[in-house]
Amino acid sequence: MEISPLLEMRNVTKIYSNGVLANSNVNFSLEKGEIHAIVGENGAGKSTLMKMIFGLEEPSEGEIYLNGKKVKFQSPQDAIDHGIGMVHQHFMLVPSFSVVDNIILGMEPIKGFNIDYKDAVRMTVELSAKYNLAIEPLAKIEDLSVGMKQKVEILKVLIRGANILILDEPTAVLTPQETEELFRELLGLKREGHTIVFISHKLKEVKEICDRITIMRAGKTEGVFQVADVTEQEISRLMVGRDVILKYDKTNHQPGSPVLRVEHVSYAESDAKPLLNNISFTIREGEIVGIAGVEGNGQAELIKALTGQISDFTGHVAIGEHRLQGHTMKEIRDLGMSYIPEDRMHQGTAADASISDNLISRFYRFKAWNKGLFLNKKKITEFSEEQIKRYKVRCSGPEQLIGMLSGGNMQKIVVARECDDKPKLLIAEQPTRGVDVGAAQLIHQRLLEMRQEGCAILLLSADLNEILEVSDSLLVMYNGQFAAYFPDAKQVKEEDLGFAMLGLKRHNEDQIRRAIHV
Amino acid sequence: MNNFMHLLFSTDFAFSVLRVMTPILFAALGALISNKAGIVNIGLEGTMLVAALTGVITSAYSGSAWVGLLCAVLSGVIIAALLGFFTLKFKTHIILGGIAVNMFASGGTVFILYLVSGDKGASTSLKSGVLPNLHIPLIQDIPVLGPILSGHNVLTYVSLVAVAGLYYLLAKTPLGLQIRAVGENPKAAQSVGVKVNRIQFISLLISGFFASLGGAYMSMGYLSLFTRDMTAGRGWIGIAAEAVGRSTTIGTFLSALLFGAADALANALQILKLPAELIGTTPYIVTVIALMVYAISESKKKKRKLTKAKLKETKSS
């Protein structure tokens, strides 16, 4: 006997008002009680598909059926009323409110004119006990860890009676322990009869907890499988249409003379404990130095010190013969430094400006790009088109606003800008975070090209795969200091790296001092 | 000088603080509710002015101060509704909308005043109503406190009740929770089906309501006539009071009281033979100082929070 699926999308097409075709003839079905993964590169159309299920967007063509009945959601409220809930990647919480306040917002139990807090707390506690999602009902959101905030989000969705939960890259922000906990909770929800849509980039996780998988590429579905029947390699091939090579061919070459010299840099905010404690190292021409470490061990501050975002540190930082302290960002860049910031949304790009404006923001003031008092529009457009082609940026043209692009394509523009005018030194801070495999590969290739051209590169990354594959040598930061130096990144065992990152093992001073070249 | 000190510590002075504070407090409450909803109403000054004139004209024609008050409130709420209509529905920038309200009010009131009374400066020719002063039984017999607290205009008492009412609204009711949520993270509110625009519109209306009470008080209590630009920056000082009060109801009330005291002080200083212009600056100097103190303490608080977070981190690691 055939049972109609819980939710079905038939031949759904979505064209945005700006003409972008986000989904084309997509079919998607959800069985009751399953955990269903949706995987795909950035910009493959996963988010758009989910937005249509959640009523944030309406399909241009095609139908959505819920329990065999045709439905049309015009707002998230419609979807919520039909038992569909979404846990957003960026939490939708009010920071100064308590957990209870956030959970009951919009559906407050009342007594007279007042909110019935007794009842609200009772509801929250009951719900958290039922689904085994332990939370402190009266804690303030801003004091909670990311994992806890996510629990609040899930509870928010559950209290509104959702039986279909959409989780948008839920593990992107979690620590491994928190991820495990989340998985236990999700399996618990599944046992209770809930259906879960799990959007992710991480194939390992998909294999671990999902039942079925829908693979999307370029706005289309590439297939639906039982997760047990496909290997990670097969999934990745369907996702990107080619095997993802995580090995790069690196030519061996001898690095040149030091470009960046960092000597005895220490930094603390007010009287607190030092965030950077006597940091010294060099980066040579044609060398990629990776910096690994658990977040919050001083990496961010180190980058800030090197790029001129903080200047009240002690010690000495120089590019070639030029000391950096006391110089503005512009002056530092003029010395030949490029910087790919971690936060592409706020620091890396101006979202409301066009692709070409973003591309030239680094050198618009140079003579070559101007014609008298005005910008040389023609040259800029030609240049932009060239870069778009070279980096395979998916967009409608150089005049498109960069904020309209997906994360991966946006990042390609940042990389294009920072790598173009032959910098002597490139600081790459998490250059591929949240970027799809294809874009990440392209960015890695570009970094390796730059290395070949003799650029000194500092690569800071939380992605071990990336840092082990791309770097030549590796430094590990722990507690504001270097805990280890591996002269050959290729030889590093993940185990050793883990020990250094967690501060379990430390190289001695002599070993770490090898990071300083004369 | 002796005379002056004598005056400063008299019950008359304390009484005048409350009297002078009333319009500032109303404006501050209007600023508070709109700020809480994340939509900064800078049209308070203009709203007050319109309400002040409306109260005078309608009370003169109806012969009843109460009808005047009602119409004044109505005019303020309508202004707020217009502001909301343009900013929330047609997405005019709220600051531009507020500026428009203020400019319209400043010129428009003079124009209407001239049409109605034939005078561009004051409404002396209109027999407008005045809202009564209340002598509160029992309280008025208490020594010292009695003369300070009793005998105020009815709207002064309304302003005090409004503080309690607004506190209750924001802290205890679903509407208050939603207003605060919308102001702090509209996306979060929207994601759970709270209609952000509607909440902001309601907040603007309440804001206009408070401002209009302040306006009515100006022309039907504090004075008994309308004069050109009679609010004289009280709407703006109200906005400052809200900021100094850190957007809390109690804080806003206390800082309004402080600004009221500064204003009253300026009045009292007039018995000293100082230049009137200099004395007139007192409330504004207090505003500047208060804002500076506010900014300094705010940045200190941030620093403290940072160190605290860091301490926590070191402990846990």
Query: Model confidence over A124-137: pLDDT tens digits?
Result: 999 999 888 888 89
C-alpha of A12 from chain center: 28
pLDDT at A400: 92
Does A141 have pLDDT greater than 70? yes
Of residues A209, A161, A185, A208, the one with CA closest to residue A34: A209
In the three-class reduction of DSSP (H, G, I as helix; E, B as strand; rest coil), residue B26 is classed as helix
| CB nearest to B187's CB, from A92, A96, A156 | A92
Task: Report the gap between the CA of B194 and the closest CA in chain A (Å).
Answer: 5
pLDDT at A1: 40
pLDDT band of A209, cuts 50, 70, 90: very high
> In a 10 Å sphere around its CB, with 0-12 CB exposed, 13-18 middle and 19+ buried, how is residue B184 labelled?
middle
pLDDT at A412: 93
- Please state the pTM of the whole predicted model: 0.72
Average model confidence (pLDDT) across chain A:
87
CATH class of this structure's domain A256-336+423-518? alpha beta
Encoded tokens for A195 = 């259906």
Does A158 have pLDDT greater than 60? yes
> In a 10 Å sphere around its CB, with 0-12 CB exposed, 13-18 middle and 19+ buried, how is residue A482 labelled?
buried
Share above pLDDT 90 across residues of chain A, in percent, rounded to a whole number = 44
Lowest mean pLDDT: which of A289-303, A496-510, B27-41?
A496-510
Does A501 have pLDDT greater than 80? no
> Which one has a higher pLDDT value, A158 or A171?
A158
In the A/B pair of chains, how many CB contacts fall below 8 A?
Answer: 78
B178/A105 CB distance under 8 A: yes
Residues 466-495 of A with CB under 8 A from B: 479
Express each pLDDT in B203-262 by its tens digit: 999 999 999 999 999 999 999 999 999 998 999 999 999 988 889 999 999 999 998 998
Asked if this assembly's ipTM is beyond 0.90, the reply is no
pLDDT at A346: 83
pLDDT band of A246, cuts 50, 70, 90: low
Domains A7-240 and A256-336+423-518 share a fold: yes
Q: Can you tell me the distance from the alpha carbon of A148 to that of A145, in angstroms, rounded to the nearest whole number?
A: 5
| CB nearest to B172's CB, from A75, A115, A273 | A115
Express each pLDDT in A7-44 by its tens digit: 999 999 998 776 667 888 999 999 999 999 998 766 67
Share above pLDDT 70 across residues of chain B, in percent, rounded to a whole number = 96
Q: Can you tell me the distance from the alpha carbon of A35 to that of A186, in angstroms, rounded to the nearest whole number?
A: 8
pLDDT band of B111, cuts 50, 70, 90: very high
Nearest CA in chain B to A81: B193
Q: Can you tell me the distance from the alpha carbon of A468 to that of A511, in angstroms, rounded to the nearest whole number?
A: 19
Express each pLDDT in B146-178 by its tens digit: 888 888 999 999 999 999 999 999 999 999 999
pLDDT at A43: 64
A114/B193 CB distance under 8 A: no
pLDDT band of B94, cuts 50, 70, 90: very high
pLDDT at B87: 93
Mutate: best of B178, B182, B192, partner A, most A CBs <10 A: B192
Q: Chain A within 8 Å of B173 (Cβ-Cβ)? A: yes
Nearest CA in chain A to B193: A77
Share above pLDDT 70 across residues of chain A, in percent, rounded to a whole number = 94
What is the pLDDT averaged over residues A181-204?
Answer: 88
Query: CA separation (Å) from B18 to A157, A355, B14, B243, B257?
Result: 49, 58, 7, 20, 7
pLDDT at A463: 73
Max avg pLDDT among A51-60, A323-332, A337-346, B30-39? B30-39
Q: Chain A within 8 Å of B299 (Cβ-Cβ)? A: no
Does A242 have pLDDT greater than 50? no
Task: Report the gap between the CA of B190 and the closest CA in chain A (Å).
Answer: 9
2.40.40.20, 1.10.3720.10, 3.40.50.180, 3.40.50.300: CATH of A7-240: 3.40.50.300
In the three-class reduction of DSSP (H, G, I as helix; E, B as strand; rest coil), residue A333 is classed as helix
Does B309 have pLDDT greater than 70? no
> In a 10 Å sphere around its CB, with 0-12 CB exposed, 13-18 middle and 19+ buried, how is residue B12 labelled?
middle
B191/A88 CB distance under 8 A: yes
In the sheet that holds A69-71, the strands lie side by side as A21-30, A7-15, A61-66, A69-71
Does B308 have pLDDT greater than 70? no
What is the pLDDT averaged over residues A94-108?
Answer: 92
| CB nearest to B174's CB, from A108, A270, A271 | A108
B188/A92 CB distance under 8 A: yes
Q: Chain A within 8 Å of B194 (Cβ-Cβ)? A: yes
> Which one has a higher pLDDT value, A237 or A388?
A388
Sequence spans of domains, chain A: 7-240, 256-336+423-518, 348-421
pLDDT at A2: 52
**Paired strand residues for B278:** none
